[in-house]
Structure 1
Amino acid sequence: MLVVAGGGIFKLPAAAAGVFPEPPTPFQVKWESLELTDVNRMDPYNATHPRRLMISKFSPVPRPACLGTCRVPYMSQRVASAEEDLLDLFVDYISQGKTKWPRGALAESWMQVCCKEVTKDRNNNSVYDDDDGHGHGHVPQKKLPTVLFGSGFNISRLFYSGTAQHLAGMGYEVITMDHPYESNVVEFPSDGTVILGGRPDPANTSALEFALNVRAADARFVLDTLGFYPQRNNTVVHIGHSFGGAAAAVAMAADSRIAGGVNLDGSMFGSVLSTGVAPRPFLLLGSEGHNSSTPTETSWRQFINSTRRRPHGEKAWLKEVNLAGSLHWSLHDFSIFADVTPGLRANEDLVTFFFGRILGSRVMEILREYLSDFVEFALGRSGNEGLLVGPSQRFPEISFL
């Protein structure tokens, strides 16, 4: 079977293996990949050209308005090959040589998205928007609550596409971002340029803080491009995994348009360790055993104390939760990969060192429910904290500290 997606024709896999299931959410989701150029800023890692970004935009579509879905490649063949070279090394390292990444899994993975929807023309008549599967051409009539989703250090935004789809299905526009020269592989389809990452030294604190400030500037540019203006009633929350969680806090502290932030299992870095982020709300969600009580996790304790001791301390909303059965890499698309790719869950070493015991479907259910409740609370769209008020019988895997 052939489908047209993103301007190219792709042969679908013979079976459903490797296809991310459409999330059971109130909305279906369409996907768009965009190149953005900040003509007012030279690239901080390469002053020979303006800063250029790749983002993915996941937008909710009311189920009655989605007339058809199609499968699109999870990532291009070129990026998949480069990423699997890196995964070979990484999985070998974290498993201490006990296992390997299954070569070809990325190139054979697909996402199911809405690619045909009913829209309205200027006369409020229904029209068919039969585009290429990436949602080109549709402009929402009302700005949706927006979630900026930051990737881990030296990690492509594409590894968060499934997670973003689950969250967008709850009714939010979700933007995942690459950060060239830091993100490990960034491909610009317009001219075929590929920029490899690794520029910031992870062992150099100053380099990491510089990278955080670059990410904050990238987030500010993305919000400017999306039409979020200062001093307006903005509806933006910044969520990040790993290093992206620290970047969410730094961007939030630097930009009043961001109403709240979430760190998914990442240590904190930068100025927020001493300033905190109060009075805007912040959530720390850690994998099993990763919390402020962990002897080695001093950054969370410092961030929590700084947030609560500021002048806004009595008004600070900061909560910390743990997800049982999870590992660091459970909290993004690798948990979905483990579910949909034959043989991965059967590999005990991959489960032990990479995926965690909790199923990807359950991770996604927990993330979309808890994160959507946080978004509603942070944006003042709900009158309470929802699931974040305390322990829930529906989700015994979540514990509050």
Structure 2
Amino acid sequence: MGGPAPERPDRPGRDRVRPGAQPRVRRRAGGAGPVPPRRARTGLGFAAPQYTALAENLASNGYLVAGVTPTYSANLTVLNGQTRSATEAGNPKSFDSADLHAGQAQADGDRLVGVWAADDRFAAAQLAALDTAGRFAGHVDAAKTVYLGHSFGGAAALEACRTDPRCAGAADLDGTQYGAVVHSGLGKPMLLIAGGNSCVTGTCRPQSADDKSSLATARALLSAGTGPAWCYQLDGAEHFDFSDYGAYYFAAPLRSQLALGPIDGDTALTVTGAYLTAFADHVTRGGPETLLDDPRSPYPGIEVQRTGH
């Protein structure tokens, strides 16, 4: 999960994150029966550890969580003691354009989301293999994998779910969508959560060409999908509030340069975590849709835009 903003990558106020939802494997404390894998992916430029708060929340609710850092898309990755920086192929300059769905930016997004989705499916397969031996043997239900991601990672989560028969559902946190899934739709359950200035749920008041493109893309995705979809907006949140950046302390001058909204960062992560857990519980265990379908959320700041079908 995680990374810079859905509207514009790596820019103050509207940073963007790229594909990377990682499946998480779910396991009940005490080992009572197999649990579904869950995979969480970071956003463009970000690394998996920057989503620790959401990952820990899922783990505390009985999930085995695996995070994926996209090498060559992340600003910095360390592999076997060697550092790897982002490359043009992994973090295209076209994502600096004013409209992320125009020209080369659209082409690069469609290409890269396929790479991230393939990485996600590979990670999910590695999680499934844990069921055969070791401490998780007999406790991994690979037939119920959930892909979760922030920003571009959210786009990758949706595309990975579309192409993985084991996928039980996918969640996209504030990420504008790319890839074939936009036009083919998703036949599995889908959760979309947007920041207060975002159009990625298909509901907003667009103020720029980029907003209009993101709005049209989200509406195409929702229109083509055959699975149930839940869409929410978290008022006061901006792009980085869906990552650990929301919980970090930043001096005022620095904070003003980041995509952080007026919402309390801990509150944003708590609310996001509650909806992610409710979604995962529903699609993997048949849990109640009480929170998901409540038209009047118990959490202040949540605008319920769409529930179920």
* TM-score above 0.5, yes or no: yes
1:298 deviates by: 3.1
Residue 202 and residue 247 in structure 1: after superposition, are their counterparts in 2 closer, same or farther (change >3 A)?
farther
Match of 2:267 in 1: 362
What RMSD in Å do the two structures reach over aligned CA positions? 2.8
Match of 1:397 among 280, 301, 304: 301
Query: Using the alignment, how far apart are the partners of 2:270 and 2:112 within structure 1?
Result: 31
Greater relative contact order (Cα < 8 A, sep 6+):
2
**Which one of the candidate residues 375, 387, 399 is aligned to 2:280?**
375
Distance across 1 between alignment mates of 2:162 and 2:13: 37
Instruction: State the Cα distance separating 1:380 from its structure 2 match.
Output: 4.1
Q: What does 1:227-246 align with in structure 2 at a 5 Å threshold?
A: 227=128, 234-246=143-155
Q: How far apart are 1:370 and its partner, in Å?
A: 0.8
Flag the 1:358–1:262 CA change in 2: closer, same or farther, 3 A. Answer: same
1:289 to 179, 197, 205: 197
Query: Is the strand fraction higher in 1 or 2?
Result: 1
Aligned partner of 1:193 in structure 2 is 82
| Contact 2:176/2:218 (8 A) holds in 1 | no
TM-score by length of 1: 0.58
For 1:336 and 1:374, the matched residues in 2 are separated by: 23
Instruction: Give the alignment of 1:249-288 within 5 angstroms.
Output: 249-278=158-187, 280-288=188-196
- The structural deviation recorded for 1:234 is 1.4
Q: Distance in 2 between matches of 1:299 and 1:378?
A: 26
**Which structure has the greater CA radius of gyration?**
1
Amino acid at match of 1:144: V
Question: How far apart are the structure 2 equivalents of 1:335 and 1:151?
Answer: 15
Helix, strand or coil at the partner of 2:247: helix
Instruction: Choose between structure 1 and 2: higher helix proportion.
Output: 2
Q: TM-score, normalised by structure 2?
A: 0.74
Task: State how far apart, in whole Å, the 1-side matches of 2:118 and 2:13 are.
Answer: 36
Distance 1:144 1:262, change over 3 A: same
The structure-2 alpha-carbon separation of the partners of 1:300 and 1:234, relative to structure 1 and needing over 3 Å to count, comes to: farther
Unaligned runs of 5+ in 2: 2-8, 15-28, 95-103, 132-140
Figure out how many residues of one structure are paired with residues of the other and give that number: 255
CA shift for structure 1 position 215: 1.2
Q: Closer, same or farther in 2 for the Cα pair 1:350/1:155, shift >3 Å?
A: same
Distance 2:142 2:155 in 1: 25
CA offset at residue 202 of structure 1? Answer: 4.5
1:327 matched to which residue of 2?
238
Percent of pairs with identical residues: 24
Unpaired segments ≥5 residues, structure 1: 1-54, 56-89, 97-118, 121-139, 339-343
Counterpart in the other structure of 1:302 = 217
CA distances 1:122-155 after superposition (whole Å, capped 9, x unpaired)? xxxxxxxxxxxxxxxxxx6854333211111121
